[in-house]
Structure 1
């Protein structure tokens, strides 16, 4: 990224999606949003230098981990430089004037739909249609002037596409959130002290192999905040373990890494970064973060 230029941030989805909301929360809204049709396209945009950063969902507190995205982390090897947690508030929205009794179809991303199952249990006659993006569903209702269809999306989408929220907060769990990772190129990553890391490694298929690694974290005062296993493609009984760890002093982290290298293979540090807190400083100074859209570009 050229100094003083606005950061170009690739997201899966379109303007007013939860990915853009996460990008705004991390960087501030003075960014150029690069719209992509898939998570893979966000990585390709970064690889082609059409973007400076990627914002990618990795897990939801209700729907769980987004497993294909772990494979993208390994396949492209871009470093993780940050994270952000976004509370997921889902609303039912329609064209202005549409009444609930006229609704026949509900459309949204499948994960958003799963997060609203309690609401839909009360209305079994509604037809549910899955789509690739929550904001895109809202935009389609506006563009096609659909009077019998509602979308599940965030308030940003309702505001941007001129829709009316007819049911607020329909998510089953009001403490629902999604964790997003921030990635960039190795050249753009700035080495700075952190207190969290994302790792990937394999262990031998023997009794206690994984336990040895986990015990080292405990012995060195390193907290393991997440572990996720994924089968190694084409190899029976072999797994990649994706682990997030946190520490209070760098010396604990360094000591743990030195030791676990003895018990692992194909070890990768996917990123070292600062654990997200609401007051965590973002990559841009606050003075450069006005509350407005700047521009955006779409990757087809």
Structure 2
């Protein structure tokens, strides 16, 4: 009997990264993760069929939106089929025996660094270096035996690469989470969907955006996210990304019909079930 092929999920980063944790949390640990060092590589992996799904971080409760990923969503036209809010705990880790006073450098992914600015600003004489991935920073410290360098990553990376945690939970705010989108090339109808992500353009006229947003309000649609993205080659023009939620599907359908007449180039990126935020 042929062995059943594992579902392949593209992640940004390597094993033990937050993206891998998000993939296992959403799909279960039976999936095969496909490591991609950049979000562009992640999208190419999904586009070229090297993965069946992709997990993409889109915003963090401390560091904010990951703007380049909105451009990628527009460029690749993938379908969002789900979301996940993952609690994020950042730890400072180094080789066994190394102390904080021995450190000359701390490295991690720029989003992780932004989430720990208060802790890092209190350190004196330590270089802060950006890398492609939190777990990759931990791996680098281990493999190169860097006795003067620490990484910021999660506890799984510390265990995976045999590092000691010098300081736990160094994120600036303890209720810290990252929102991940679940992407695929195939759009699918979800009977339980109560949330959607979309983007559109509005005329550069007084009240044009307000009119579109008021349509959602008038149809009892909750607007949970709004993000403007510059349109390349069109100064002073923007595409507007919004996330909306509804209790009655008819209200959403009615709102969408009306908004279509008010805006230009409306694209629904996906309709899916709203995820819960559970702090740990």
TM-score, normalisation: structure 1: 0.89
Provide the alpha-carbon RMSD of the alignment: 1.4
Q: How far apart, CA to CA, are the structure 2 residues paired with 1:5 and 1:152?
A: 34
Q: How far apart, CA to CA, are the structure 2 residues paired with 1:4 and 1:191?
A: 25
> CA offset at residue 4 of structure 1?
5.0
Secondary structure class of the residue paired with 1:150: strand
- Aligned length, in residue pairs: 275
Q: How far apart, CA to CA, are the structure 2 residues paired with 1:163 and 1:5?
A: 34
Secondary structure class of the residue paired with 1:272: strand
Secondary structure class of the residue paired with 1:40: helix
Corresponding residue of 2:91: 91
> CA offset at residue 96 of structure 1?
1.4
Secondary structure class of the residue paired with 2:11: strand
Q: How far apart, CA to CA, are the structure 2 residues paired with 1:45 and 1:120?
A: 34
Corresponding residue of 1:206: 205
Q: How far apart, CA to CA, are the structure 2 residues paired with 1:162 and 1:63?
A: 28
**Which structure would you say has the larger RCO, counting Cα contacts within 8 Å and 6 or more residues apart?**
1
Q: Is 1:157 the counterpart of 2:157 in the alignment?
A: yes
> CA offset at residue 47 of structure 1?
1.1
Select which of 188, 198, 218 maps to 1:190.
188
> CA offset at residue 82 of structure 1?
0.5
Q: How far apart, CA to CA, are the structure 1 residues paired with 2:4 and 2:182?
A: 20
Corresponding residue of 1:251: 250
Q: How far apart, CA to CA, are the structure 2 residues paired with 1:201 and 1:278?
A: 27
Q: How far apart, CA to CA, are the structure 2 residues paired with 1:64 and 1:245?
A: 18
> CA offset at residue 141 of structure 1?
0.8
Secondary structure class of the residue paired with 1:233: coil
* Alignment of structure 1 residues 85-234 onto 2, 5 Å: 85-186=85-186, 189-193=187-191, 194-234=193-233
Q: How far apart, CA to CA, are the structure 2 residues paired with 1:37 and 1:225?
A: 30
Q: How far apart, CA to CA, are the structure 2 residues paired with 1:150 and 1:41?
A: 27
> CA offset at residue 190 of structure 1?
3.1
Corresponding residue of 1:9: 9
Q: How far apart, CA to CA, are the structure 2 residues paired with 1:259 and 1:212?
A: 10
> CA offset at residue 85 of structure 1?
0.7
Gaps of 5+ in 2: none
Corresponding residue of 2:18: 18
Deviations 1:70-104 (A, max 9, x none): 01111110100000011110000011121222121
